[in-house]
Structure 1
């Protein structure tokens, strides 16, 4: 089964379009969509509830208050893992390789990441990868509509992380459009607990990558054409808190302690 986890904060304009595009792109793939409404103040919750009533494969999780991207991703993972609670991923790994594995894809709910890449990520996992990143920095990858500050932050974060925490096959450390073999997330949860992401800002996606990649035998990237100009409304990312979050990640990495500092807020 393919699970698509969408963290959503004030995305009532973009979310309906994205949900329709996911259904079109994944028509041939059995899939479930998990939308985590992270304390939205617009009508995002109504959108999710309406879709859940008319589409049996759409499921909503609601945070009464905004908790941040990391907490939303954690909630989505916990929901998916709870639906697979009786499965022993280590019981017969060879059998899983031959069969279609359980896969989790995370992507933004603002419709800037094209849903037609989902089958590409899906096929890459089915072909043997444990973790696949939709990357702006491989051949064929592009990004449009980002400010110079945002471009510099993403590019610089990747270079810094490549120096301090190199992961074979990874250039794009911060993009959250990824596919995970479910057993990889299960192992990460066993190691770090249900709230695997501790960061309270957008550096949480880098934190997640650093935590689960060591348990992946194969990590790969596929090209992504990011169209940020399609985003409705203002960006939720704050550059300086995110930079501080990256610095905290490096500190945690070198100290081998993931929960001993008070993570900076967004």
Structure 2
């Protein structure tokens, strides 16, 4: 079963289009879509609930108070863990002879093209533990992104690659990823609610840094980030995100090595 987790905050303009695209891309893949409404102030919740009434593979969870990206991901993951233990698997047919539960995350603003999902699922079924859709992999690109945001994303990858190197990984901050569900759930059992402590967009990097320790096979596939398709204002606060990245580095290095080893690095 594929579980697609969509954190959504004020995405009324894009959500219905994205859900249509996901359903089309996953028409041959048993899929559950989990929309996590993070206390949106627009019609996001109503749109998600109306969609779910027509399509039973869509489920909606709603926060009464805003919990940020990290909190929304955690809610979506716990819902996926619950579903994978309780949904019947009999009668599900894959194109291949093997079967893996997969948890996939992507942005709900329609900037991540859903047509990459089958390739990411295929890579997990071919043995990958984690697949990252990367703007920086050969063949990837990004469109419509402000130069400052481009610089921030590129810089985050360079800095995180220095402190938390992962062979072959170039895109640390993109949230378009597919995880082998058993590995993600085992990582959650180890960290519990501390799996994602960062409330800012640095939470995506924190999640990656913690999960890769339990992955044997990590792969990147290229994708085109289409930021020009985004409706409304960006949710990212640049200064808070930069601060979140540096706070994350200090916190994780202190936990792992202590101050002396961290200063030496």
Q: Is the CA contact (8 Å cut-off) linking 1:52 and 1:60 kept in structure 2?
A: yes
How far does residue 84 in structure 1 lie from its aligned partner after superposition?
A: 2.9
Secondary structure at the residue paired with 1:84? helix
Q: d(CA) in 2 for partners of 1:52 and 1:195?
A: 30
1:251 aligns with 250
Q: d(CA) in 2 for partners of 1:196 and 1:254?
A: 15
1:165 aligns with 164
Secondary structure at the residue paired with 1:168? coil
Secondary structure at the residue paired with 1:134? strand
1:91 aligns with none
1:226 aligns with 225
2:65 aligns with 65
1:5 aligns with 5
Q: 1:17-56 to 2 correspondence within 5 Å? A: 17-56=17-56
Q: 1:97-112 to 2 correspondence within 5 Å? A: 99-112=98-111
Secondary structure at the residue paired with 2:199? coil
RMSD, aligned α-carbons: 1.5
User: Which runs of no fewer than 5 residues in structure 2 stay unpaired?
Assistant: 88-95, 257-265
How far does residue 195 in structure 1 lie from its aligned partner after superposition?
A: 5.1
Q: d(CA) in 2 for partners of 1:175 and 1:69?
A: 13
Give me the TM-score of the superposition, normalised by structure 2. Answer: 0.91
How far does residue 61 in structure 1 lie from its aligned partner after superposition?
A: 0.3
Secondary structure at the residue paired with 1:61? strand
1:113 aligns with 112
How far does residue 65 in structure 1 lie from its aligned partner after superposition?
A: 1.6
How far does residue 83 in structure 1 lie from its aligned partner after superposition?
A: 2.0
Secondary structure at the residue paired with 1:149? helix
* Number of residue-to-residue matches in the alignment: 248
Secondary structure at the residue paired with 2:168? coil
Q: d(CA) in 1 for partners of 2:248 and 2:34?
A: 28
Q: d(CA) in 1 for partners of 2:194 and 2:47?
A: 26
How far does residue 7 in structure 1 lie from its aligned partner after superposition?
A: 0.3
Give me the TM-score of the superposition, normalised by structure 1. Answer: 0.91
Secondary structure at the residue paired with 1:3? strand
Q: d(CA) in 1 for partners of 2:107 and 2:60?
A: 15
Q: Is the CA contact (8 Å cut-off) linking 2:51 and 2:58 kept in structure 1?
A: yes
Q: Is the CA contact (8 Å cut-off) linking 1:104 and 1:180 kept in structure 2?
A: yes
How far does residue 99 in structure 1 lie from its aligned partner after superposition?
A: 2.4
Q: Is the CA contact (8 Å cut-off) linking 1:78 and 1:194 kept in structure 2?
A: no
Secondary structure at the residue paired with 2:231? coil
How far does residue 16 in structure 1 lie from its aligned partner after superposition?
A: 0.3
Q: Is the CA contact (8 Å cut-off) linking 1:71 and 1:195 kept in structure 2?
A: no
Q: d(CA) in 2 for partners of 1:134 and 1:111?
A: 14
Q: Is the CA contact (8 Å cut-off) linking 2:9 and 2:37 kept in structure 1?
A: yes
